[in-house]
Structure 1
Amino acid sequence: MNIKEFIEALIATANRFDTEDYLANWEADAVLDDPSVGEIFKGHKGIRRYFKDYFIGYKTQTRLLQIKPLGENEVYI
């Protein structure tokens, strides 16, 4: 699976508000930096809180507008 397919699958999971499937896409020590909320979320505990607060809590529906590779394992979406 290429990075674009992965991101599209991650977005589809997020749009279903499936917390466990969403977390399954993240490494246990992953870091999620979302400048729109002014916070960095670390590990599954932090990413779970981010997902529940900002996706489920606001009933957010996401779509991919662009993807910009920043490094081997890092993208800006």
Structure 2
Amino acid sequence: MKVFDSLKKQLGPGLMFAAASVGVSHLVQSTRSGASFGLELVPLIILVCFLKYPTYQFSSTYAQATGSSLLYGYRDIGR
């Protein structure tokens, strides 16, 4: 049980972030697009997955460095 508790503490924040990143809309739209387009969109989906990670990495690093969310940062730039 000790191993499970240690693993839970290490993986917990990452799993919560992943769960928040993949919502119901992702699941619904992926099955819908699969039914409509088949495997034609697989290269695009792989590309988007590679582009999505750096965006999440930057936004969490920005929030930690500035103490402000990325949306507030964009708002401040627009002023």
TM-score higher than 0.5: no
Range of TM-score over shorter length? under 0.3
Provide TM-score, normalisation by structure 2. 0.25
> Of the two structures, which has the highest relative contact order with CA contacts closer than 8 Å and spacing of 6 or more?
1
Provide TM-score, normalisation by structure 1. 0.26
Q: Could you say which structure has the higher strand fraction? A: 1
Q: Could you say which structure has the higher helix fraction? A: 2
Max Rg structure: 2
